[in-house]
Chains A and B, each alone.
Chain A
Amino acid sequence: MSRIAVIGGGIAGCTAAAELAAAGQQVLLIEKEDSLGGNIKNYGCKADSLCTRCNLCLVDSVFNQVHQEENIEVLFDTTVIDCLKEDEGFTLITSSGELEEQQPDISEVILATGHTRWSELETGTPEIFRDERIIWASDFEDMLEGRQDQLTGQNLKFDLGFEPESAVFLQCNGSRSLQEKARYCSKVCCGYNYRIARVLRNNFPEMDLSMFFIDMQEAGFLVNLSREDLKEREIDYYNCKPLRLEKEKDSLILHYEDQQRGKMATLETDLLVLSEGIHPGSNHERWARIFNLQENEDGFLRTIWSPAESGIYLAGTITSPGDIATTMAESKTVAYKLLENKLSKAKV
């Protein structure tokens, strides 16, 4: 029996694989690392006293489903290096360590290899940001995974070597800037940092919290990030990007333009948290070549041929930045679409 190959075992690939398997399809899931989960494998919960709707609660049951589902075979530590078009479907050439193998009888391929975070790029950290008081937003993930505030009632432990009394979140870092090779808005970082700020507010009612936005985005379809909301939580809102950073012994000083007053102003902080834009995955050139895809001008992939004809589908952040919720919904849609196409093909 032919199989559907899903490349990438993050939340996009796993959601699609689980849907396909539940519909009775045989699935071959190919993951380059030794476990499922991709980018969000070790993310921590971002609830304050309420759920902040990051959607992490939903992902583990999807990963478990992939593990338990008999119709899914998972190849770990494996990458796809080529794709051969056959009369019917494809044969994938995979590589695992030294071993190269053929994976025949593939009827369709869903490519779900995700994105790279700005912080993971070698060019990602400008010299000015090298300081222990300047961290990436994702550096909070370990702290959040290890948080003990909900049950044990302890405050979030900063894994920084110092206890900041104030924090500034700097949005649009790694996005919307040609120098940073991303002219687009990554859309998810506003919501991401907003959630972290809420956790901090909940743990440290006295902490000074501020966020600098170029343009504050919506934070997913169940969250309406608004100025009112920030005000209520006593998170100061700055509608600009700071122009200069000064590193003093006791604090970091951000120089920004107070546009309402038309003057330069400064804000001191103990901790600067950088948002990180979502950048295209590292293998996009290869995927474009072997699966006949097109890279758009930002480096994300899109199909040239209709997936119904080509049998090649894209799911998740391989096509554009997206949060967990959107990724899950879209990946389900991709799986349903594939099933529908398969069914109408079978009828013909």
Chain B
Amino acid sequence: MIVGKLKDVAEIKEMLPEDIESLLIIGCGTCVSVSLAGGEREANSLRDLLELYYSSQGQDVRVNATTIKRQCDDEFIETEELSIEGHDVVLSLACGVGVQHLGIKHPEKIILPGVNTTFYGRNADVGEWEEMCLGCGDCILDDFAGVCPVARCSKSLIHGPCGGSQDGKCEVDDEIDCGWELIYNRAEDTGQLDRLLEYEGPKDWSTYRDGGVRSHKNPEFFSE
């Protein structure tokens, strides 16, 4: 799932225009709700905090909050159309996708991001997430015992570990597990060590950023 992290409130304050009169905070009820960054709770809390701030500044700013199911689909944001138009500025607590989708739908509105979209990750524990996937567009997990060298090796090395692997930890930060240690161990556990030798690479990066901005279509929905 897409994991997000609520931005520092000081940063949010800085990005809001000084002469703002009304602000609409829009939470998103899918990925960033699950990653506890931009759901209704965060939207409402941020609304109340900013209200407190503006009133302490003697500034009369109307702050409202609403949360919709998904900001990356037209149908969900249509219900908020009037509300969006009725505010100077919109602060979206969705991932970067939602923020931009709102922008596309509301070309003349200032749409600001309230959340940092961090990575595609898994829930490791309550309130804790770990990166698992980079979205490279060409999945090679079958070759690496189900552990991704691109996302889980800090250097995205696909031909084995670097010299900085120490006691299962990464030289970039010893809080990070060495991805290659994980690959090796899991390959050993699942009897797939031989397969590690088979991958000849280089990896085709054209499906990632090297190929430029990406988009794709599901042919089932299109006729020639």
Direct contact of A and B (CB under 8 A): no
- Name A residues whose Cβ lies closer than 8 Å to a Cβ of B: none
- Name B residues whose Cβ lies closer than 8 Å to a Cβ of A: none
